[in-house]
Structure 1
Amino acid sequence: MNITGKRVLITGGSSGIGFALAQVLLAKGAKVAISGRCPEIVSKAVRLLQTGSAEIHGITSDVVTAEGRDARLEQAVAALGGLDVFVNNAGGAHVGRLKDMDEAKLQAMIDVAAPILLTRAALPMLRDSSDAMVVNVSSDTALAGTPFYAIYASVRAGLAHFSEALRRELKRDGIHVLTVYPHGTDMPMIRSNRAFAGPGTSREPASAIAEAIAGGIETGAIDLIRDGEAMLG
């Protein structure tokens, strides 16, 4: 896929991997909308991303409700003039022993309905594109269980399997699906996780993961696994 001119919506685009990916795609000439829950944070991110002739838009809505999901997509399509690439990046990790896990935090991680329902709602817009893609950002914990990440790893694995099934389902529709498995990422959410504080652990800059995702979009990769080195397949 040639990124230049592509219309991209990135959920969770106001920080971390989503923000870094927005920077990379804007530099390559894409038109980008980032979405998030907090208007102030999204607005600040848009200001930081607004350089030169970059076309960047910020969108906030409550994706827990059908109305909020529809509003997010409608605003993105109205701002961008359509949709070619939909990036499911939003998500949070709460780390700790399962027996000590706060039930509200546990439930928040388990609820993966929003990215699935957003993807379903985005499909008509993507079908209107002549060259479309869904990018689902999972985690390398989906590939091998990591201590203290039992719930997060399970949920990310579910998203990865959803992504693989969707790729096969949409193949004849001309919509490609890329699944991304980031390694530990150097961003606030991960820096606050004590489980990454011990020896033998590493964190990769969000910018490196974003560059790899952009490369995967350009080459039409199926999987992008980060473990120090990018492996495209």
Structure 2
Amino acid sequence: MRIENRRVVITGGSSGIGLALAKALGAAGARVAITGRRAALLDDAVTDLAKDGIVAHAIVADVSTETGRATTLNDAVAALGGVDILVNNAGGVRAGRLEDTTEAEIRVTLDVDLLAPILLTQTALPLLRQSGEAMVINVASGIALIGMPFYATYAAVKAGLARFGEALRRELHDEGVHVMTVYPGATDTPMMQTSKAGPDLGFVREPASAVADAIVDGIRKGSFEVIRGGEARAKMIALNRDDPAALDSRFGGIKSQLAEAVRDHTAL
């Protein structure tokens, strides 16, 4: 897909991967609208983008609510004239032992990470069909491919988002709307600030700009998926498929350290 003059909506676009993607797509000639719940952060993001000569439209909306989803699409149409690419990037995380996680935290994670992108995509489909050449991009997680201990709920919702995208891609085959799923690894974003897991535990963080550049490349190629983590991640995915007990043992060897490192990891 060409990117020039494409009308793009990025949820959770005020920071992290969303903001980096807004920069990358804006630099490639796309017209961008970014959404978020906090007006001040969106204003800062728009100012940051303007420094690179990118004009972005800010939409203050909570996409986990029906009103927020309607606001997102109505404002995007008003600002851009339509939607060609929808990026479901907004998300939250709560790590730690499942029995230490509250029901409220589990429900928020489900609402933001899974229900919101499904319902926003459903509502956006008529607009996307009008494009003639549209794309839905779902930002999942590497944890959707390899279930990590202490991320049970997060793994569930991100794996659900990934299978939603796969099924929808096939449902929309040859109908002018393509669906791509992105599987970032550990990324240096505000969402990771409360995690103490580092390279010694396998969390080697890459810059959000690297993930954004890979997504842009995937858009151009019409890829089905973008998986970050290189050869090391590919080997882990293969091991998880062929000998999951070996990966169980590997995680078992670092379980106590990992539990301590991620017990306060939350961004909801």
TM over 0.5: yes
Provide closer, same or farther for how the CA distance between residues 54 and 150 of structure 1 changes in structure 2, counting only shifts above 3 A: same
Instruction: Classify the secondary structure of the residue corresponding to 2:204.
Output: coil
Residue equivalent to 1:38: 38
Residue equivalent to 1:68: 68
Greater Cα offset, 127-136 or 189-198: 189-198
1:28 correspondence with 2:16: no
Contact 2:136–2:177 (Cα < 8 Å) also in 1: yes
In structure 1, C-alpha distance between the alignment counterparts of 2:72 and 2:35, rounded to whole Å: 8
Q: Which amino acid aligns with 2:8?
A: V
In structure 1, C-alpha distance between the alignment counterparts of 2:53 and 2:16, rounded to whole Å: 23
Aligned sequence identity (%): 55
Q: TM-score, normalised by structure 1?
A: 0.94
- Number of equivalences: 231
Residue equivalent to 1:128: 130
Residue equivalent to 1:161: 163
Contact 1:190–1:196 (Cα < 8 Å) also in 2: no
Match of 1:225 among 221, 224, 227: 227
RMSD between aligned alpha carbons?
A: 1.7
CA shift, 1:220, in A, is: 0.3
Residue equivalent to 1:140: 142
In structure 1, C-alpha distance between the alignment counterparts of 2:226 and 2:132, rounded to whole Å: 23
Deviation per residue, 1:51-102 (Å, 9 max, x gap): 3652310001233332321121010111011111000000011111111113
Structure 1's unaligned 5+ residue stretches are none
Structure 2's unaligned 5+ residue stretches are 235-268
Residue equivalent to 1:92: 92
Residue equivalent to 2:217: 215
Instruction: Classify the secondary structure of the residue corresponding to 2:173.
Output: helix
Residue equivalent to 1:176: 178
Deviation per residue, 1:8-60 (Å, 9 max, x gap): 00000001000000000000010000000111111111111113652310001
In structure 2, C-alpha distance between the alignment counterparts of 1:196 and 1:102, rounded to whole Å: 26
Q: Which amino acid aligns with 2:144?
A: A
Greater Cα offset, 91-100 or 5-14: 91-100
More helix per residue:
2
Contact 1:95–1:194 (Cα < 8 Å) also in 2: no
Instruction: Classify the secondary structure of the residue corresponding to 1:86.
Output: strand
Greater Cα offset, 203-212 or 65-74: 65-74
